[in-house]
Amino acid sequence: MSAIKRTPADAAFSYLIRQRAGWKCERCGAQHDDKSCGLHCSHYYSRGNWAVRFDPDNARSLCYGCHAYLGGRPAEHTEWFISVVGQGVYDLLTERKNDQYLGREYRKTKGKGPIAKHYRDQVGQDTIERWL
């Protein structure tokens, strides 16, 4: 399986998720600075699910170790994720993920157009280029 290409919208979204968490891992609390490569934007439903690719409810800030740990333990990842977002948000997120129309519409843009503009405006182009 090939890797999913990282777009400028992905870079900006990732930056905002990590910034939202105060540059800390939301699982273990490890602090990072904004230039660190050790802190990831972890998507509960993978970036291949276009309907929730840029949904802030679907992403958490995780250090490399926690990201790898939860990635290898799907049941534990789900339990942890629900403990963070709550059952209601989890259920709504799952509904959005399964919305085929929404997924098709977002996939058409592939992180371009309104999605990319929205995140570029929030973060700034120079920051986005640093993360690509």
pLDDT computed for residue 67 by the predictor: 97
Q: How confident is the model at residue 126 (pLDDT cuts 50, 70, 90)?
A: low
Confirm whether 1 is domain-assigned. no
Q: Residue 39 forms beta bridges with which residues?
A: 63
Confirm whether 78 is domain-assigned. yes
Confirm whether 128 is domain-assigned. no
Tokens for 86? 């709550």
Confirm whether 132 is domain-assigned. no
pLDDT, tens digit, 9 for 90 and up, residues 12-31:
899 999 999 999 999 999 99
For residue 132, pLDDT beyond 50? no
Q: How far apart are the first and last CA of the chain?
A: 21
In terms of pLDDT, which residue wins out, 18 or 125? 18
pLDDT, tens digit, 9 for 90 and up, residues 67-94:
999 999 999 999 999 999 999 999 999 9
Confirm whether 23 is domain-assigned. yes
How many domains does one find in the chain?
Answer: 1
For residue 102, pLDDT beyond 50? yes
Tokens for 16? 């905002």
Confirm whether 131 is domain-assigned. no
Q: Residue 31 forms beta bridges with which residues?
A: 24
Where do we find the tokens 């891992």? 25
Tokens for 41? 């934007």
Three-state secondary structure string covering the chain = CCCCCCCHHHHHHHHHHHHHCCCECCCCCCECCCCCCCEEEEECCCCCCCCCCCCHHHEEEEEHHHHHHHHCCHHHHHHHHHHHHCHHHHHHHHHHHCCHHHHHHHHHHCCCCHHHHHHHHHHCHHHHHHHC
Confirm whether 73 is domain-assigned. yes
In this structure, of 4-8, 40-44, 52-56, 128-132, the range with the lowest mean pLDDT score is 128-132
The boundaries of the domain holding residue 33 are: 8-123
